[in-house]
Structure 1
Amino acid sequence: MLINFHNRGIVSFFLGFLLCYAVVAAYLRSKCYRDPSSIFFRPESARVLTYSSFRKAQAQKFGELAASHAIAKWANSTSPELCVAVASVSRHGFSYLKETLGSILEGLDDLERQRIYLVVFLAHTNQSQHEDFREPWLLNMADNLPTYPDDAGIVDLVRQLEIDGNYEAHARKQKIDYSVLLDECAKVRPKYTMTLEDDVIALDGWYHRALNALQTATRKTRELGRDSFLYLRVFYDGRLLGWNSEEWPLYVELSVALLIVEIVILVVIRWRITAMRKALTLSVILVLCGVCTPMLIGLFFAAGRNCMLPKPPGVHLMHQYGCCAQGLVFPQRQVVDHLLPLYRNTEDNHAAVDTFLEDWANNHDSLRWAVTPVLIQHVGGKSSHGAGDQESGSLTDDMPFDYSFEMNDPIKLAKEHKAWLAEIREINTKQFE
């Protein structure tokens, strides 16, 4: 009878555990639907452009204003703090460029805008092929609209690459395009150069967050005993930060270690505390360690890494899983000493510019930082080189995307931006007193 009572106790405990387990699973289902590594991931909800749509509307309104009114530009009196370099290629009747540039500039105070040099390169030998060629808003937004160098050899090469139009041609041409952008930025000697793709949306306050992150990256670089870093990443693909297969041996080791520690603790309690021996029978320990804990570990991993172990806000090294090239900020020393010669001289046609750069960085042990949360979102669904084309330009599952970006609160961001501007003005006022 005592055995039956004990068995009923185990059954009751396990049923209670299952009830709690179901409640926790339901909670995680409601919380983790934005994590692509989660079993609860709901792409139809997670990929909805909530904050991005808000910024798109602001960007479009700013673009309409820029089409008919002169707006603030870089103050030519000093070198800019940041050169923003954007290359854009025709998507055959579809363009994100107006929204991209509008989101970069919308909300900037004149004080901020005058410290930014904006270069927009319509990367065609015949720029009239681009949908936004000579658009009034583009002429008013950009500080510089370069063309390919007046070099017959380069122009003929690019023209042939445009005709070929395959992946190898795109990979080769992309590096030439980047060399044009970086060269134009180098002419005004900025402190940093930020390269952006033409299908991104920037959040309100991206500029001051980028500057703060760059200061942090510089400090952390020195703490590591290094004098420079290659870049600060302002966007990364949230799909690549899950439970990566290369790290599964570590996950298994940690799970086994947790079970061993749990078993040791329970056995010690049973051995040292006489009153617990009746409750902590071997059957109970078996259920706890052989059933309950493995179920909890399984739920932990099933819920997804981004949900259970999100990256804390700040600046972190990101030498792996840092796709793609939507937004990178380079110290100008890196641009002049390494990137410009690298892109100008290479004849590589096998790797896109992001992969090409990562391979070079790995070979040279370069530091690569990333800021969390990201400062821009990738909203492009229609490729400029034939991959994943969508007639409507809508997002698809194979496009880089940061799911946390859409949770931004526009009111909080606006307040943060306003507070930073007030602080900068106060500092400037004290300097002139």
Structure 2
Amino acid sequence: MLATTPNRGVVSFFLSFLLCYAIIALYLRSKCYRDPSSFFFRPESARVLTYSSFRKAQARKYADLATLHTPTKWVANSTVPELCIGIASVSRHGFSYLKETLGSVLDGLDDLERQRIYVVVFLAHTDQSQHEDFNQPWLINMADNLPTYPDDVETSDLVRQLEISGDYEAHARKQKIDYTVLLGECTRVAAKYIMTLEDDVIALDGWYHRALGALHTAARKTQELGRDGFLYLRVFYDGRLLGWNSEEWPLYVESSIAILIAEVLILMTLRWRIVMLRKTLTSSVLFLLCGVCTPMLIGLFFAAGRNCMLPKEPGVHLMQKYGCCAQGLIFPQRQVLDHLLPLYRETHDSHAAVDTFLEDWANNHNSLRWAVTPVLIQHVGGKSSHGAGDQELGSLTDDMPFDYSFEMNDPIKLAKEHQAWVAEMSRQNPAIASKSMLSI
């Protein structure tokens, strides 16, 4: 009986560990279901548009009101806009997200904020009447500029050929022409920053003041790195690409082995220095702890998912890789004038998509790319403009870029944060605020 007592103790300890392990696993199952890198990921729950649906409703209401009267807009010849927003939109064959996208960008903006933003919406067709939203009153009243393709035969003929072709390579080539139009219109008003948005995103309430804060942080961090400037600030990234990446597996293995070695050394040291622990930390117990329990916990850690266990801290971080896609990027004006416009004008024949093309160029030139966490917009478009996807009623495809934390936003907290920022800006700039009120 005495000989079996230690074994019973080990068995009791292991059963207790298994109970705790099961409780932890159940907790992680309830917490990590939004992480696409997690074993507990539940896409049917994680992809439900909760906050996005709330913002969609607000956006539609704003756009419907804009149909009846023109809301506050940027005033020409008054001030240089802080930000120019460029949105290129292509027909999705009877379906459009543009109304909700533009409405979510503008809804909730204070008049003072709206007057610092210049909005360019480009219906990217040689015959713009092909677009579902062509000549819509809400679009005319909400946008500051609705450009067309340059009035030259060479460009018009090329775009028509690409439209007729309609394949992926043609789409990629045409995108660069479209971006040239957008960026060109933004540079004409000399906006300090230029933001390009795809036409199937939803912006959160208060995106503007968060973007300004992130841009200031990015500029400061760029100076701290001894660099003259950064290429862009990313306001959206695909959460699926920030999991346990296969190319980093040596680091994961090394970290796991280091934890095991440290645990063995600590337990052996305790056993050697503290006499009373020698009876407890037997060889069987040490093997159980280091050879079974700890590997099981390490496995559970990885199974829970990287975004769940090691989430990105709120703030501005370098994102030199895994930054996908082009749903929302903010460029300093200097980068657009010196690099992007010449680049897109000279590479219309490139078959690479705009986002891939830009990342390749940035990698070759070691350009700094920042990203803000949490993201400021959500990608909600499952129906592509070039044939992929069949989203019609709000469902999302498995392979579309998506941020799974965006839907957890609290609309009340965001509205209070936004109102507090507007009040602070009005307090700091009473002359500008008064001028804004007089212009209404």
SS of structure 2 residue aligned to 1:341: helix
TM-score (norm 2): 0.97
Taking the aligned partners of 1:413 and 1:240, their CA distance within structure 2 comes to: 26
Q: CA deviation at 1:348?
A: 3.8
Letter in 1 for 2:6: H
Describe the shift of the 1:84–1:432 C-alpha distance in structure 2 as closer, same or farther (beyond 3 A).
Answer: closer
Equivalent position of 1:236 in the other structure = 237
Letter in 2 for 1:48: V
Equivalent position of 2:195 in the other structure = 194
Equivalent position of 1:21 in the other structure = 21
Q: CA deviation at 1:430?
A: 7.8
Matches within 5 A, 1:305-384: 305-384=306-385
Taking the aligned partners of 1:261 and 1:348, their CA distance within structure 2 comes to: 56
Taking the aligned partners of 1:349 and 1:381, their CA distance within structure 2 comes to: 25
Taking the aligned partners of 2:433 and 2:302, their CA distance within structure 1 comes to: 56
Aligned alpha-carbon RMSD (Å): 1.2
Q: CA deviation at 1:390?
A: 3.0
- Gaps in structure 1 of 5+ consecutive residues: none
Q: CA deviation at 1:110?
A: 0.5
Letter in 1 for 2:59: A
Contact 1:171 1:348 in 2 (8 A): no
Q: CA deviation at 1:431?
A: 8.6
Letter in 1 for 2:350: N
Q: CA deviation at 1:394?
A: 2.6
Letter in 1 for 2:26: A
Taking the aligned partners of 2:131 and 2:432, their CA distance within structure 1 comes to: 46
1:179 correspondence with 2:209? no
Taking the aligned partners of 2:361 and 2:64, their CA distance within structure 1 comes to: 41
Q: CA deviation at 1:284?
A: 0.4
Q: CA deviation at 1:351?
A: 1.1
Matches within 5 A, 1:68-107: 68-76=68-76, 77-107=78-108
Taking the aligned partners of 1:242 and 1:376, their CA distance within structure 2 comes to: 20
Superposed CA offset, 1:108-128 (max 9, x none): 010000000000000000000
Superposed CA offset, 1:49-106 (max 9, x none): 0000000000000010001111100022111000000000000000000000000000
Describe the shift of the 1:242–1:423 C-alpha distance in structure 2 as closer, same or farther (beyond 3 A).
Answer: same
SS of structure 2 residue aligned to 1:193: strand
- Gaps in structure 2 of 5+ consecutive residues: 435-440
Contact 2:174 2:348 in 1 (8 A): no
Superposed CA offset, 1:284-338 (max 9, x none): 0000000000000000000000000000000000011110000000000000000
Contact 1:200 1:326 in 2 (8 A): yes
SS of structure 1 residue aligned to 2:313: coil
SS of structure 2 residue aligned to 1:107: coil
Taking the aligned partners of 2:267 and 2:155, their CA distance within structure 1 comes to: 73
Describe the shift of the 1:12–1:430 C-alpha distance in structure 2 as closer, same or farther (beyond 3 A).
Answer: farther
Contact 2:83 2:118 in 1 (8 A): yes
Residues matched between the structures, number: 433
Q: CA deviation at 1:432?
A: 9.8
Letter in 2 for 1:91: R
Contact 2:237 2:324 in 1 (8 A): yes
Taking the aligned partners of 2:9 and 2:102, their CA distance within structure 1 comes to: 66
Contact 1:243 1:304 in 2 (8 A): yes
Equivalent position of 1:65 in the other structure = 65
Contact 1:169 1:349 in 2 (8 A): no
Taking the aligned partners of 1:370 and 1:2, their CA distance within structure 2 comes to: 63
Taking the aligned partners of 2:391 and 2:122, their CA distance within structure 1 comes to: 23
SS of structure 2 residue aligned to 1:2: coil
1:410 correspondence with 2:402? no
Taking the aligned partners of 1:26 and 1:325, their CA distance within structure 2 comes to: 36
Superposed CA offset, 1:207-244 (max 9, x none): 00000000000000000000100000000001111000
Matches within 5 A, 1:129-144: 129-144=130-145
Contact 1:125 1:158 in 2 (8 A): yes
Contact 2:381 2:391 in 1 (8 A): no
Q: CA deviation at 1:347?
A: 3.3
Equivalent position of 2:427 in the other structure = 426
SS of structure 2 residue aligned to 1:80: coil
Taking the aligned partners of 2:433 and 2:206, their CA distance within structure 1 comes to: 26
SS of structure 2 residue aligned to 1:390: coil
Contact 2:89 2:198 in 1 (8 A): yes
Matches within 5 A, 1:183-262: 183-262=184-263
Q: How many percent of aligned residue pairs carry the same amino acid?
A: 80
Letter in 2 for 1:30: S
Superposed CA offset, 1:173-213 (max 9, x none): 00000000000000000000000000000000000000000
Taking the aligned partners of 1:140 and 1:173, their CA distance within structure 2 comes to: 27
Q: CA deviation at 1:2?
A: 3.1
Taking the aligned partners of 1:117 and 1:225, their CA distance within structure 2 comes to: 31
Taking the aligned partners of 1:325 and 1:252, their CA distance within structure 2 comes to: 33
Letter in 2 for 1:22: A
Taking the aligned partners of 1:217 and 1:195, their CA distance within structure 2 comes to: 18
Letter in 2 for 1:170: H
Contact 2:426 2:433 in 1 (8 A): no
Q: CA deviation at 1:365?
A: 0.2
Letter in 2 for 1:178: Y
SS of structure 1 residue aligned to 2:400: coil
Superposed CA offset, 1:17-74 (max 9, x none): 0000000000000000000000100000000000000000000000100011111000
